[in-house]
Structure formats: structure tokens, C-alpha cells
Structure 1
């Protein structure tokens, strides 16, 4: 499917047109709720439209990466745009545009998924295809609420279409109810989705990029970890490391996970499909709003992160991240190979002295992001908001590390070593059981935090880890973060989450502010 499911099909989700007057005209060129939801093709078009919501500015085109990476200690704001700087130092106001865009885009995703789940069951169509369509809707709704819960903590939980105007103003749900729904959605998705689409019968046959049972299993396990349901999480991860949901494995080259030429590879459980206009067409950038037949399917992350003179340079890696990559050398005495896949830095000992095919243009001590930029993959200067690099939402490395974490929390610390070492082996790092044998549970927690910091740097993982580990409520850990990133000096309790957008609070009398609004 690579790159092709996000195109014109969002238009199928338009509401019915018409007015209460003597002259009631319907546009025959626009589908309505009265004429849609009739055929197998309608069902497939509708689920495709949900994927469309993943490639707009409020989701993975730009704002999810920016608002997640910016709040962690692996990244610092370096932007003339105040919103990005205020997000990075935990002082973002409720009136921030990006905060509202993320909210709106995710509830668009929820709305589209709810329409599929409400209407597709009554369509007469092949049952296996129907199950796949419903499974994808469950998965994508689960992903939407997973992000909403991590961004805002407590939000309205909407799982049905409104019956009348009395349901237009949903109240804030409890954190527990939201997470129970996330777990339920991923469970339903797992039960309905195939391992892959290579041999299915239907218009989705051979598609790559759709949600699979492996992706649902992985996200289910991850959600269970976030709720500290360790034993249940290990049951899900055991299926993945045991090969029951696909032959997932680590790629030999770490950078293959961020290379547009090696997308949807064996390490990827789920990723958002982006493409250059030369691959799929389109002339108008896919920022969002009403679906447009001329939309491209590009990511703006590369130009946003790209180094000074090559893009907007809105963020910089922290010196802490750079230094932590130097804590250990590889078995053969080299630098951790993930360093230069993550950070653009001047490293003559590693034969790395170029940037975008140019000789290093800065002072030797300057560092910039490399991960998710086109450095090495595209033009020498990123002059436009165009990148085709897929955003990897869930990698097999994350499954291994989460499995190790869950085992450690269950008191099975000795078993955790092997899963961590699989990730370290790719980086050619020494055997952890040799260099740090017989760690206690607490020591292993700190080791896992370090390992995750390096493996998933600039991948939007760190802020979620810090929140779920309770580091913001722990004075010692908060002091540790402040010593690593000065932006944490302006953190105040509750601002580990984004504020509920002020426009939403103004329009919905049943919506409650979260801790960040108080």
C-alpha cells in the first residue's frame, strides 16, 4: 500500500448536505450519509480516510514530533516561533495554535473512526474484509486516544456518533476510562487484523502500511506498560518476540529506521506513510482542513529539524544527549553508531565531516539533528516543506525494551538482560551482563532509562517515558533533568501535559481544564 491510502478518500466522510427550505438541493458530486455506506468500496474508502488524518499538521506531518520531542531532555528549542519555545520550557499557554491543532486533528481521526465503526457493520460485504476494515478503525481510534491521553491526560471520550444536539458537548472522561478504552480498542484491533495483507482477498491485497495484528499487539502491550499492568504486557510482547505476529527483527543498520529507502522494514510494526509529490502527485501541502484532491502526502518534520542554513533549525539536540552517546564505546573502540544517525556533528575520527554532501559548515563543536531530516537522502538545502520519510510509530526495538522493563518490574530482572542486549548488540556495545552484572531492580530501572534515551532519541518517546515513570513528581529525578536541560528550570507541576485548548474550554461547558490549565 506504501503511500497510497491517504489520498482523496477523506471526502467520503462528508456529512449530508441540504437545508430546511422549500428548495432542497443536493450536489450529486458529493457523497452524503444517505448515499454513502452502501458498498464494500464505501467501507474501504471510509477506513482509508482515517489514515488521511495521520498526515496533517496536527498529527505526524509536524506537530506530534515537535510537541513531543521539544518537551524532553534530548531536544531544546532554538526557534523564532514562540509556541515551540514555550512548549519546550513548559510554559505553553492555553491559546497556543499548535496545542489546538493537535487536539482538532486527533478528534477528526476519532470522528472518522467512529463513523466506520457505526456504519460498516450493516454493509453487506465480504466478512473477512469487513473485519479488517473494523480492525483498522479500532486500531486508529486507539492510537488517537493513546496520543490524546499522553498529550492532555484527561479528555472527552467519544466512541459513538451523536444522536442529537444534547450530545454535542461531551464531558471530560476519567484517566482510567480513557486508558481502558485504549486497551479495549487495541484488543479489538488485534482480534480483527491480519498478520499482513499479502494474501488477503479484497482491494487491500498486497497493501503495505495498513495496521496489522502485530501492530495492535505491540500497541496493546505498550498501553499496558503505561498503566503498569506488567504481567499482561509481557504476555503481549511474548507473542511478538516469539514470532506469532510476524517475523519482526532488528535491522542491522540502525539508520534504516529513518531512511526513506528502507521503509516498512522488518523492524517496523507501524509507521505513517509519507511520500514526495514525485511519487504520488499533488500540488497543495497537506496541512489539514477540508480534504483536497490536490493534497500532497509530505512531512514537514525534516525542514523543521534541519540544521541552520538547511532548514528552520527549530530544535537542537541537547549537549546531554551528545555526551550520553559517549558514555560507552563499542567493542572495537569506536563511538556508538547511533550517535551519527541521530545527531549531525563533526566527527573526523568516525570519518564524518560532511552535512548534506557539503563539507562541515560550522564550528567543530556545533551539533544539529540528523534523525528525520533528509541529510544524506535528499537535496543539499531543504527549501520547501517536503519530505517523504515515514514516521515510525512503533519499532521492534521498542518491543524488546518494553518487554525488558515489564520483566524487571515483575522482579524478573535477570531475564531483562537478554532483551536489552539485543538492542545493544546492534550498536556493537559490550555485554551488559558482563559490564553491569546482577543489577538490582532499581539499578535496572535506571539502566533501561539510559538505554531508551539513546535508542529512541528524537523519536517522541522520551517525554512519555518521563511522565509515566513519575520523574516530574520525584524531586531527585526532576533535579537530574534540570541538570541536563535548562528548559526544565521553568517547569511547574502539571505542565508535563499540554493544556486543554482555550477555544475548546470556551465552547464546551462540560469540558474540564487539566492540571496545566490551573
Structure 2
């Protein structure tokens, strides 16, 4: 495992694969004429692709949370209005075509896609073990599919680039239809489903993408398209055939360092720091913690809303691991959490790393893995697909697995020696659901997804695919008499604008989304 982190760092500082925008090539001094010849070259190129999701100061996870939560009823941007103002635009649906956060998403994901294209194009011509080279190619396809999924679900149709291209060629590529982008995603993920299972990788490669990741993203793609029949087939394969994953016995374990890359983790970004002089950590948690507590002193972004808090049953122990409150104190801290600058009184627990786990580290390289997809997400998608396909009794089995784990969770966080609120768990806490009416059960499953996956970046994705984004946000604005959601335009705000800089560089080959 240590080897993979050090190789990533080596690439970050020494490898000349630099690209920032759609029109930049994914190589500099290194070209296909003097590289990609050996298996080790392809391995380094693949590591370079993985690296695009976790580049210091430009981490995809930060954008993932800002776009995925702060534009929804789950989270506020937080901090002062002028601090990271581009996220405030997302929150209030007043997004300009020059919005920096929108541009950052486009930039990171196309850098990822460009790197993946290099691996896919050259892997099978390199000298080495063909089975390993095929795996590298399929890992790149899985990563490319993730990149295109993240683009098409927020921008609609985008330029579909599937092979290495020169800048002047890229600038002539128009937007493909959303249908064509989804077809490419499905093709890539079907190929990547041949990847090894999670437990088949060596310790050094334990964070490489797996068949479970490929199938989960394929299921998410089908769900987003409303294709519940195909989604059910893929999800059944994950849950009932492969058995690659299992829920941890306690919900709170998911965010403790001793359970990194656990049985529940489907996709996790590794940020372990082995050598404190090398920046292999993440700076994302620092953006989300309180400004006022020694050892934390973050930016106070990604604040849970009161509406999200009210969505939880008062005795649901999961809220202990979603909301950090004033008065909570982590073991080893001398001062309790102070959230007086938070608009709701809460901060994001799941991205709060106790100061004892950061001792000796720079705040910009925190040793903390970011969990992007958990098996609980898979189980709830499966329950939803089954219900939509008229199989409510079967859906209840998987819905109630998630609820059972939740009610068995310790309401007192073992990482704290002082907790402002401890839910009172009784025999009546989170009882099994028995409703089999399709419409009623759909609402219950949607609610369960909200509380189980709270603050994990998937809320916008859910509201989009459920075709109720505008409805929910306008209701939020009316309920709380706030700006957030009031400006939602159903003809505009289901998509983000294409970055104006990309349109300009293409000489208007790229076209803008409606109403921007």
C-alpha cells in the first residue's frame, strides 16, 4: 500500500503528464513515441490518471461535495458570502457561465478522461503481461466512465473524446448528445465489469478500481436513465451473486481511520500520509470544519441544513455521525467544538478529522481517506429498483438491512469524550418497514437514502434522477423563506452551464445550455 502512495507522489512532482483543460493534450515532453512501450509505462500512466481525482489544491472531492450537496436542501455553502462566492452562486441558483467551481469540475474531469484515453489507447500494444495490461485498460475505462457520468449528469451532452487528440483537434469536437455519452459510459463499464473483485487485489493495489465499482456505476447510470429493469439486473449481480461487500456492524465505523477501505467501501480516495514531508494527504476536511476551535480552524463550508437535521428521527443514532454540534469534544482535544459561526449550528461530521489524528501534519495534507461510494448506497438503489419493478416485498429486505444496521449503531461516538446530544435508542427505534404500496414505499426509500447518505455528495444526483430537483428546492425556499431554491428554473437549473472559457476557445463549436 505504501508503494502506491509514493508512486503517486513521484508522478505528481516528476512525471510530465500535465493537462488542465479540454483543449490541452494529456502529454508534454512525454509522447507516444518515447513512452507507453512497457508494462511499467502503462502502470505509471494509470497512476497518473488516478491522481487527477486527488491533486492537491484541486481535489475532485471538494467539488463533488460543493456541487452534490450545497446546491440542494442538505447543505449550505457556509462561511461569509464573499468567501468561495462561486459556491454561493450554486447554492442560490444564480450561476454565471464563468463560475469557477463549474469550470473546476469540467477541468478536473477532462484531465481525468484525457489520461484514461492514453492508457486505453496504448495498453495493449505495450510489452508485458497481457492479462495485467488488460486490467490496466479496464481500470482506465472505469475511471473514464466515472468522469463522463459526472459530466453528463451535470452538464448534459458534452464533447465525447475517447482517444488521444491534439489541441487543435479537440477544439473542433462539438457536444455529443447525452444519449451517446451514456452509451459510451455503459460500454466502458460493461468492459470494466471484468475487473477483479475487491479482495483479489494485493495490499499494494487495494485502492484500484474493482468489478464492484464498475457495476455500481453501471447501476447508477441505469437508475439515472430510469431504466429500472437493467438496474435491477446489475444490482442483483452485486448483492446476490458477487458478495464482494458487506455493511459494517456500526454506521459510525465508516469514518474511523481503522476502517478505511472496509468491507463497505466501494470507492474510496486514498489520502494516507506515510512520510510527513511528502504531500500525499487531503485538504478537503480543512474546508469543512469550524473556524473557532484550536486544531480545526477550517473554513466552515459544507454546513448541514436545518431541513436535513429535521429529516432524522430524534432517536436515529446516525445523526451522531452526520452533525457536529457545539459542545462535542473529541478525545485529546482541550476545547469542545464551537459552531457559533455556522448558520445552522452544525458542521459536517463525516469530514471532521479529530485533531489527535492530525497531530504533526500540515492542515493541507490531512491523512484521511474520502469515502465516495458505500455498499449502503448499493442496497438502497437495489431496494428502489425492485420497488419500481413491482417487487416491493423483496425491496423491503434490502431497505430493512440498512435500517437494522442504523438502529444497532452506537449513539455515543467513541471518538468523543463529550457529546452535546446522545439519541435515546429504544426497541421502537427505526422499526422495519412493512409498507408494500409502490408509491408509499418509493417515498420511504427516497427518505432513507437522504438520511443514510447525508452529506456524502449524492443528494443532487438523487434529486436529478428522481425528476424532483426543482420541486424540492422551491419547496425549501418557501418553507424557510430563503433565497436558496427561490430562483430555481426548471428549464435551466437541472444542468450547469458549459464554462464560457471552453466555448470561447472552441470558437463557439461548443454551445451553451438553455437559459444561460
Same fold (TM over 0.5): yes
* Aligned-partner Cα distance in 2 for 1:396–1:314: 26
CA apart distance, 1:406 = 0.4
Q: d(CA) in 2 for partners of 1:324 and 1:230?
A: 26
SS at match of 1:182: helix
Tell me how far 1:253 sits from its aligned partner.
2.1
Determine if contact 1:338/1:427 at 8 Å carries over to the other structure. Answer: yes
Render the CA deviation track for 1:270-307: whole Å, top value 9, x for unaligned: 1111133xx14555xxxxxxxxxxxx222222111102
Partner of 2:461: 464
What does residue 449 of structure 1 align with?
446
- 3-state DSSP class of the match of 1:271? strand
What residue in structure 2 maps to residue 490 of structure 1? 487
Deviations 1:201-221 (CA, angstroms, capped at 9, x unpaired): xxx674210001121111111
Find the counterpart in structure 2 of residue 372 from structure 1: 351
Aligned residue in 1 for 2:420: none
SS at match of 1:95: coil
Which residue of 1 is the match for residue 280 of structure 2? 297
Aligned to 2:262: 265
Residue 210 (structure 1) aligned with residue 208 (structure 2): yes
1:45 corresponding residue in structure 2 = 44
Q: CA deviation at 1:513?
A: 1.0
- Name 1:427's counterpart in structure 2: 406
What are the Cα deviations for residues 426-464 of structure 1, in whole angstroms up to 9, with x where unaligned? 111779996653342111121111101111111111011
Residue range with higher mean Cα deviation, 64-73 or 157-166: 157-166
The corresponding residue for 1:339 is 319
- Aligned position for 1:195: 197
Cα distance in 1 for partners of 2:188, 2:88 equals 34
Q: Distance in 1 between matches of 2:464 and 2:168?
A: 36
Corresponding position: 1:126 with 2:129: yes
- Residue 90 of structure 1 is matched in structure 2 by 93
Q: Distance in 2 between matches of 1:88 and 1:441?
A: 32
Query: Which of 110, 114, 117 is the equivalent residue of 2:113?
Result: 110
Give the counterpart of 1:359 among 326, 336, 346. 336
- Taking the TM superposition and a 5 Å limit, the aligned residue runs for 1:150-229 are 150-162=153-165, 165-191=168-194, 193-196=195-198, 198=200, 206-229=204-227
RMSD: 2.9
8 A contact 2:358–2:366 mirrored in 1: no
Counterpart of 1:315?
A: 302
Change (3 A) 1:233 1:344: same
* TM-score (normalizing by structure 2): 0.84
Tell me, in whole angstroms, the C-alpha distance in 2 between the residues paired with 1:38 and 1:503: 35
Does structure 2 conserve the Cα–Cα contact (< 8 Å) formed by 1:12 and 1:36?
no
Note closer, same or farther for the CA distance 1:382–1:311 as it changes in structure 2 (3 Å cut).
farther
> Could you tell me how far apart the structure 1 residues matched to 2:211 and 2:50 are?
17
1:288 matched residue in structure 2 = none
CA distance in 1, matches of 2:359, 2:304: 21
Counterpart contact for 2:330–2:354, Cα < 8 Å: no
Q: State the SS of the aligned residue for 1:504.
A: helix
Q: 2:193 & 2:102 partners in 1: Cα distance?
A: 31
What secondary structure, in the 3-state scheme, does the structure 1 residue paired with 2:347 have?
Answer: strand
Alignment of 1:470-509 (within 5 A): 470-474=467-471, 477-483=472-478, 486=482, 487-493=484-490, 494-508=492-506, 509=508
Instruction: Please give the alpha-carbon distance, in whole angstroms, between the structure 1 residues aligned to 2:18 and 2:101.
Output: 26
1:242 is aligned to: 240
Change (3 A) 1:453 1:61: closer
C-alpha change, 1:491 and 1:381, in structure 2 (3 Å) is farther
Which residue in the other structure is 2:70 paired with?
70
Distance 1:504 1:340, change over 3 A: same
In 1, Cα distance between equivalents of 2:447 and 2:157: 29
Write the deviation string for residues 256-280 of structure 1: whole angstroms up to 9, x where unpaired: 222233211000111111133xx14
Structure 1 residues 130 and 92, CA, compared in 2 at 3 Å: closer, same or farther?
same
Compared CA separation, residues 323 and 382, structure 1 to 2 (3 A) = farther
Match of 1:510 in 2: 509
Contact conserved, 1:12 with 1:46, CA < 8 A, in 2? no
1:290 match: none
**Structure 1 CA distance, aligned partners of 2:284 and 2:400?**
31
Structure 1 counterpart of 2:253: 256
Residues 404 and 415, structure 1, Cα contact 8 Å, conserved in 2: yes
What SS does the aligned partner of 1:215 have?
Answer: helix
The CA distance in 1 between the partners of 2:511 and 2:221, in whole Å, is 24
Report the secondary structure of 1:7's partner residue.
helix
